[in-house]
C-alpha cells in the first residue's frame, strides 16, 4: 500500500486533491473536530454556519463550535438525521437560515456529519448567492472515504437518487478518526463497502491488505482505519483530479452503484444503507463480469467473501424482480442516450465501463442472483 502521496505531521496525514485553483487538502487523524484554529484557517470571511444532524450534534457540535476562534460569527443549524431527509426541503432550510442571518458571499458552510449532510451542505453552498465556500468534516466512515472528497453534491428526487445537484469542491476535508468510535457497526460496515471498492477497481495490493486486516478494522483499530481512509482518499483524489466532472474514468468509482441505486430506490431511500446496496451491487457486477468471461468463479467468490467479511449483505432483496431492477437502472445518470452503461470488473484491481453486455445476459444475472 503506497503512502508516498501523503505527509505526516503530529499523527496527521495530509493528501492533496489537485484541481488547479480549486485544489484542497484532505487531513486525516484524531482530534480534528476540536481543532477550530485549523478549520478557521480555511475560511475566506468571518461568517460561518455549521450544519449537522441531531444525532451528530449530540456528540460533536459543541466540541467543534467551542474550538472556533472568537473572531468568527458562528451560527449552527441542526437538521433531522437520515437519507429520507436528503431533500430540497432540507436544503431550503439551510438557505433560509443563511438569509435570515444575513450571511454574504464570503460566508462559509461547514458540513459536520455523514454523506447526507455533506451532500446537502455542499449543494446549499454551490447555490447560495451562486456559490460560497464549504468545508467537509465527515463523521462516518462512508463519508470519510467517499462522499466528502470529489465535489459531488446534491439531493434525492422521488424519481431518482442524487438527480439534482452540482459539482462543487470543498475548501478542505477534515477527517477526524475519533468520530468513528461512536459509529454504529452497521454504519461502519457500510463505509467498508466503499473501501473495498477502491481495492476492487484500482489496487489489488490494497484489497489483499484489507483481506488481512478486516477483523482489526471492524474492531475499530484506529491506526488501521486511518491507513484504510488514507489509501481510499488517495485513490479517489487521483481519479477525481483526472476527471472532475465524470466525463470518463471517474465513472469507475460507481462500481456496484447502478445495481445499488436500483435497490435503494425500490426499497425506499434509507431502509438499506448506501454501502449495503453498493455491496450487493458489487457482487452483481462481479457476477456479470464472470458471465462476460472476464473473471473466473474464484474472483467472484473472493469479491463475495471480502464483502461478507466486512459484515455486508451479499444477496439481493427477495421482493425485487428483474423488471424492478431494470426499470430503476435505466434512469441512472451513467446511461447516455438510453444505452445501459455499467462499471464491471476486468480483473481484481481493475474496473472498466462497459455498455455492451447483452440485455438477456443482464436479465439472467439479476434473475439468478441469490435473494434473501
Look up 59 and say whether it is catalytic.
no
Active site includes 194? Answer: yes
52 annotated ligand-binding residue: no
Chosen residue from 4, 10, 70, 130 binding its own copies by CB under 8 A: 130
Let me know: does 119 contact 155? Beta carbons within 8 Å: yes
Residue 241: burial class (beta carbons within 10 Å; 0-12, 13-18, 19+): middle
| CB closer to its own copies out of 60 and 269 | 269
Q: In this chain, which stretch among 25-33, 99-107, 235-243, 268-276 interacts with its own copies, using CB under 8 A?
A: 99-107
> Is 354 designated active site?
no
Which one, of 361, 272, 283, 273, lies nearest residue 315 by Cα? 283
Reference 285, options 214, 231, 334; nearest CA is: 334
Quick one: which of 3, 7, 62, 131 contacts its own copies (CB under 8 A)?
A: 131
Binders in 32-91 for its own copies, by CB under 8 A: 45-47, 88
Instruction: Check the annotation: does 82 bind a ligand.
Output: yes
Q: In whole angstroms, what is the distance from residue 88 CA to residue 120 CA?
A: 9
**What mask of x and - would describe binding to its own copies in positions 302 to 321, judged by CB under 8 A?**
--------------------
The answer to whether the annotation marks 119 as part of a ligand binding site is: yes
Catalytic residue check, 250? yes
Q: Is position 236 annotated as part of the catalytic site?
A: yes
Residue from 24, 60, 128, 266 that binds its own copies (CB under 8 A)?
A: 128
**From CA 160, how far away is CA 168, in angstroms rounded?**
20
Name the residue nearer to its own copies (CB basis): 99 or 205. Answer: 99
- Active-site residue 254, yes or no? yes
Sign of the CA dihedral 336, 341, 346, 347? positive
Q: If binding is defined by CB under 8 A, does position 259 make contact with its own copies?
A: no
Residue 59, annotated as binding a ligand = no
- 118 vs 354: CA distance, rounded Å: 30
Choice from 62, 69, 80, 105 touching its own copies (CB under 8 A): 105
Q: Which residues pair with 109 in a beta bridge?
A: 49, 134
Catalytic one of 75, 156, 194, 304: 194
Using a 10 angstrom Cβ sphere, with 0-12 exposed, 13-18 middle and 19 or more buried, the burial of residue 285 is: buried
Contact 231, 198 (CB under 8 A): yes
- Span of 34-42, 129-137, 175-183, 358-366 interacting with its own copies by CB under 8 A: 129-137
- Asked whether 189 and 310 are in contact (CB, 8 A), the reply is yes
Exactly one of 18, 72, 166, 299 binds its own copies (CB under 8 A); that residue is 166
Contacting residue, 72, 84, 127, 309, with its own copies by CB under 8 A:
127
23 is a site residue for its own copies (CB under 8 A): no
Q: Residue 372 catalytic?
A: no
Instruction: Give me the catalytic one of 202, 236, 291, 354.
Output: 236
With contact defined as beta carbons under 8 Å apart, do 227 and 235 qualify?
A: no
Which residues touch 212 (CB under 8 Å, ≥6 apart)?
Answer: none
Contact 97, 107 (CB under 8 A): no
Asked if 146 contacts 115 with a C-beta cutoff of 8 angstroms, the reply is: yes
C-alpha cell at 286: 462481479
Q: Has 153 been labeled as part of a binding site?
A: no
Helix (H) or strand (E) holding 231: helix 222-242
Identify which of residues 251 and 351 has a Cβ nearer to its own copies in the complex.
Answer: 251
The catalytically annotated residue of 261, 291, 328, 334 is: 261
Smallest separation (angstroms) from its own copies to the CB of 106: 5
Nearest to 353 by CA among 367, 371, 340: 340
Instruction: Give the separation between CA 70 and CA 191, rounded to whole angstroms.
Output: 35
One of 82, 160, 317, 370 touching its own copies (CB under 8 A): 160
Q: Is 85 annotated as a binding residue?
A: yes
Interface ranges with its own copies (CB under 8 A): 45-47, 88, 92, 95-96, 99-100, 102, 104-106, 123, 126-131, 152-154, 157, 159-160, 162-167, 245, 330-331, 333-338
What are the binding residues for NAD(+)? 81-86, 115-119, 139-140, 152, 161
Q: Which residues are catalytic?
A: 130, 152, 194, 236, 246, 250, 254, 257, 261, 274
Amino acid at each position: 500500500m503506497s503512502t508516498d502521496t501523503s505527509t505526516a505531521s503530529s499523527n496527521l496525514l495530509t493528501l492533496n486533491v489537485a484541481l488547479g485553483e480549486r485544489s484542497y487538502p484532505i487531513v486525516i487523524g484524531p482530534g480534528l473536530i476540536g481543532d477550530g484554529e485549523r478549520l478557521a484557517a480555511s475560511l475566506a470571511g468571518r461568517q460561518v454556519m455549521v450544519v449537522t444532524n441531531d444525532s451528530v450534534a449530540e456528540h460533536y457540535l459543541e466540541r467543534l463550535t467551542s474550538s472556533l476562534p472568537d473572531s468568527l460569527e458562528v451560527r449552527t443549524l441542526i437538521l433531522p438525521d437520515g437519507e429520507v431527509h436528503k431533500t430540497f426541503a432540507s436544503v431550503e432550510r439551510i438557505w433560509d437560515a443563511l438569509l435570515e442571518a444575513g450571511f454574504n458571499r464570503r460566508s462559509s458552510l461547514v458540513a459536520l456529519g455523514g454523506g447526507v449532510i455533506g451532500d446537502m451542505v455542499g449543494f446549499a453552498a454551490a447555490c447560495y448567492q451562486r456559490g460560497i465556500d464549504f468545508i467537509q468534516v465527515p463523521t462516518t466512515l462512508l463519508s470519510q472515504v467517499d462522499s466528502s472528497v470529489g465535489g459531488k453534491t446534491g439531493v434525492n428526487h422521488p424519481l431518482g437518487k442524487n438527480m439534482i445537484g452540482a459539482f462543487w469542491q470543498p475548501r478542505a476535508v477534515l477527517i477526524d478518526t475519533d468520530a468513528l468510535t461512536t459509529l454504529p457497526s452497521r454504519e461502519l460496515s457500510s463505509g467498508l463497502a466503499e473501501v473495498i471498492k477502491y481495492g476492487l477497481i484500482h489496487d489489488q495490493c490494497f484489497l489483499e491488505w484489507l483481506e488481512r486486516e478486516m477483523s482489526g478494522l471492524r474492531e475499530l483499530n484506529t491506526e488501521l482505519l486511518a491507513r484504510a481512509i488514507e489509501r481510499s482518499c488517495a485513490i479517489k483524489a487521483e481519479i477525481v483530479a483526472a476527471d472532475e466532472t465524470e466525463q470518463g474514468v471517474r465513472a469507475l468509482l460507481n462500481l456496484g452503484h447502478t445495481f445499488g441505486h436500483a435497490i435503494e430506490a425500490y426499497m425506499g431511500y434509507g431502509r438499506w444503507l448506501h454501502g449495503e446496496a453498493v455491496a450487493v451491487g458489487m457482487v452483481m457486477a462481479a457476477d456479470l463480469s464472470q458471465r462476460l468471461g472476464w473473471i473466473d468463479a474464484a474472483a467472484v467468490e473472493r469479491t463475495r467473501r471480502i464483502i461478507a467479511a466486512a459484515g455486508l449483505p451479499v444477496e439481493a432483496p427477495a421482493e425485487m424482480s428483474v423488471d424492478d431492477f431494470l426499470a430503476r437502472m435505466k434512469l441512472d445518470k451513467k446511461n447516455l442516450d438510453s444505452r445501459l452503461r455499467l462499471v464491471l470488473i476486468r480483473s481484481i484491481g481493475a474496473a472498466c465501463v462497459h455498455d455492451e453486455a447483452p440485455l438477456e445476459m443482464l436479465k439472467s444475472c439479476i434473475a439468478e442472483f441469490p435473494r434473501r
